[in-house]
A and B are shown apart, each in its own frame.
Chain A
Amino acid sequence: MERFSLDAAHLLAGGMVLVSFMMLYQNRILGLLNVFAAHAVVLSLSVAWQAYVQAAPHLFVTAAIALILKAIIIPVALHHMVLRLGVHRDIETVGGIGPTMLMGMGLVALSMVVMLPAAAEADPIAREDLALALSVILLGLLMMVTRQNAISQVVGFMSLENGLVLAATGARGMPLVVEISVAFSVLVAFIVIGVFLFRIRERFDTIDTQALDDFREGRE
């Protein structure tokens, strides 16, 4: 049973890394949102499994928040926003898909090399989970760097936060205060971003952040 619970936890956390890679090669916003929803579903399964293994019922709350908020409400809302703004076109990546995927693999390798020895004294579930969580975080960062479109940067940021939740739930007995606050901060962040997207829409014809940069270059 002990062996199985470990394997299942690693499978789910590894699944998140896989879905993170899937996000990297999406070239349409709507497709990206669907994959993000899948990311959140895997996160919620993983958190629920941790709740069961650690016999920590409060983690089920975190799992439910992940499922309801990140897998359903936010993707649906962003979906509507994308259609309303009329930006459901191809999104361009900096550097192309191939090099991005290669860099992603490099980042995963890096997080393994860094975290596995460093967390050797922590228990094995946490050790592997931390390494996988760091991979998800770094892949989220990579996505924010390689995408120029505001909505895909937001999605990259949220996948990064998913990695944080994975790390926090993997740390046995971490106080609930922090988990709720993470979920809450995603909500707040989302509201803020929503506000900004609409404000930006009022002022710009595009929500491509490259356009914002061009604008600034001309001014300074």
Chain B
Amino acid sequence: MTAFLHQLPFAPIDAVLVVPGIAALLLALIPQYKLGARINMLASGLTFLCALTLLVERPDPAVSFLFVDDLNVVFVVLGTFVGFTTSIFSASYIGHEIEIGRLKPGYIRFYHGMYQALSFSMNLGLTANNIGLMWVAVELATLTTVLMVGLYRTQAALEAAWKYFILGSVGIALALFGTILIYMAARPVIGEGHDAMVWTTLIANAAAFSPELLNVAFVFLMLGYGTKVGLAPLHAWLPDAHAEGPTPISAVLSGLLLNVALYALLRFKMLLAANPFAVAPGPLLVTLGLVSLIFAAFMLYLRRDIKRLFAYSSIEHMGLIAFAFGMGGPLANFAGLLHMTMHSLTKSAIFFAVGQVAQVKGTQKIADIRGLTESHPTLGWSLVVGVAAIAGLPPMGIFTSEFLLVSSTFAREPLLAIPLVIGLLLAFGALIWRLTGVAFGKPSPSVEHTGRRPSMLPLIIHLVLVLIAGLYLPGPVVAWFQNVARMLG
């Protein structure tokens, strides 16, 4: 396998960027919807295959702006996979939106081009071996998603995009200030210029950096990238952006973009952990994580819009993941990684389902959606399975990770475990309560369309993967995650 990869005319890591880059330019020129959707799927699939090769083939960090290690390869593979399945879903979903006239055909070039540009910027952010480059990539990802959220050009969509843009920009600006401070801390040790922004050099020399500067820098990075992760109280953009954008973008936002920002935070956490005199970043993450969890759990009860409901559920789960990584240690980090993977898969699956629900019922209002399992059995039951998974019912994968997290927290910090469990139970109650209303009972009227139904395939693949992970995690995956958990410290 490795020998074969060496014969390729390009390095796989470059391909992860080049494929979406070229596809973005190409798709920006294709006005036909069907052709564009096919190329979009093809490019996303190809990117996923290239990402898979990164599992066995690593570039030499000395000669490249990019690098791959055990940590970011998890994010890249997961991200490109969800990007691929979402492109399959998007193909039929967007087709339907054009048929019903919600999306003007003129925006197709824009939509597909932006989809690939987003994929490019996220892969760049995940593989960049330079904190400046990573920042640029996250900024690019923000701008592309802002444009996609405003795609429908309705008042609500524009308002959501504007809010997302302003809050996202402020977050990204604070993150840049933090990045500059990291450079300032590194410069007396590493010397001026490019080297003082390279990850691999930074982490190797972190012990000698000025701890005061690192502390201040981390506060800014935490606020900046934390805004992008959607941690409360910096989450205000997230529900609007999820609810008003096209559903494939909601899936990508929850499944991918939040993870990219989280990845950036984890990297800087590792940097601080490598310095013995810097403040421990863990308690900060634990606090923000718990606040997000409890806040979002309460807010779940108040939602009236089904996409907003699941957007708040994303805040809740990002809070859980931040909590897990904040706790640190092999077991909690393992739980955090597993939870992140499971959440990405489950939440995007739920958005695939919710997008179709909104199409067949013609509304996003929870009160107007009833009896789905009766009127649309496949869709309804898929949604039931997805919500059961996200609420943390066994035997799905999220149950495994939440169980690991709760049990390890009880063993180490019983006092922290109490709010954690309360938050989990509150969120569980809200989701199940909403689900019974939406899925069971007398069906509400549906809007019937003669057009094609969106594909159920991506949804089913995701849920089956989550189920398998809940029943049995393959040995190599466990070993891999354990290794990464050790790296994260």
Contacts and interface: CB of A to CB of B under 8 A. Distances in A.
A137 B136 contact: no
Given A178-B132, A188-B143, A121 B169 contact: no
B132 A175 contact: yes
A216 B156 contact: yes
Interface string B205-232: 0000010110110000000000000000
A51 interface: no
A185 B184 CA distance: 22
A178 B156 CA distance: 35
A164 B183 CA distance: 13
Contacts of B143: 188-189, 192
Contacts of A164: 173, 176-177, 180
Nearest to B153: A199
Contacts of B147: 192
A144 B154 CA distance: 24
Interface in B143-199: 143, 146-147, 150, 153-156, 158-159, 161-163, 165-166, 169-170, 173-174, 176-177, 179-181, 183-184, 187-188, 191-194, 196-197
Contacts of B374: none
A144 to B, nearest CB: 7
A121 B210 contact: yes
A144 B155 contact: no
Contacts of B188: 121-122
Contacts of B173: 137, 157, 160-161, 164
Interface stretch (A22-30, A99-107, A110-118): A110-118
A121 B170 contact: no
Contacts of B183: 171, 174
B146 A192 contact: yes
A100 to B, nearest CB: 17
Contacts, number: 124
Contacts of A144: 166, 170
Contact of A212 (B146, B159, B305): B159
Given A126-B184, A137-B173, A157-B166, A118 B213 contact: yes
Contacts of B165: 192-193, 196
B240 interface: yes
Task: Name the interface size band of chain B.
Answer: 35 or more
Contact of B162 (A160, A185, A196): A196
Contacts of B130: 177
A118 B161 contact: no
Most chain B beta-carbon contacts within 10 A, residue among A126, A157, A175, A177? A175
Task: Name the interface size band of chain A.
Answer: 35 or more
B315 to A, nearest CB: 16
B162 A117 contact: no
B274 interface: no
Given A203-B155, A204-B155, A119 B162 contact: no
Given A122-B188, A160-B173, A161-B173, A174 B180 contact: yes
Contacts of A115: 216
Contacts of A65: none
A112 B288 CA distance: 26
A90 interface: no
Interface string A139-169: 0010010000010010001001101100110
Contacts of B159: 212, 215-216
Nearest to A181: B136
A84 to B, nearest CB: 19
Most chain A beta-carbon contacts within 10 A, residue among B159, B193, B212? B159
A208 B156 CA distance: 15
B393 interface: no
A2 interface: no
Contact of A118 (B158, B191, B196, B216): B216
A150 B216 contact: no
Contacts of A175: 132, 193-194, 197
A106 B161 CA distance: 32
B133 interface: yes
A89 B193 CA distance: 47
A189 B183 CA distance: 24
Contacts of B6: none
A17 interface: no
A10 interface: no
B170 A119 contact: no
A163 B191 CA distance: 24
A191 B277 CA distance: 43
Given A118-B213, A157-B169, A167-B180, A173 B155 contact: no
A136 to B, nearest CB: 10
Given A189-B143, A189-B169, A199-B153, A167 B177 contact: yes
A19 to B, nearest CB: 18
B215 A118 contact: yes
B304 interface: yes
Contact of B170 (A141, A192, A216): A141
6 contacts: A144-B166, A144-B170, A153-B166, A173-B196, A203-B153, A203-B155
Give the 3 A-B CB pairs with smallest separation, nearest first: A173-B192, A118-B212, A178-B132
Interface of B: 130, 132-133, 135-136, 139, 143, 146-147, 150, 153-156, 158-159, 161-163, 165-166, 169-170, 173-174, 176-177, 179-181, 183-184, 187-188, 191-194, 196-197, 210, 212-213, 215-216, 240, 304-305, 308
Given A121-B213, A168-B180, 4 more contacts: A122-B188, A133-B177, A161-B173, A173-B192
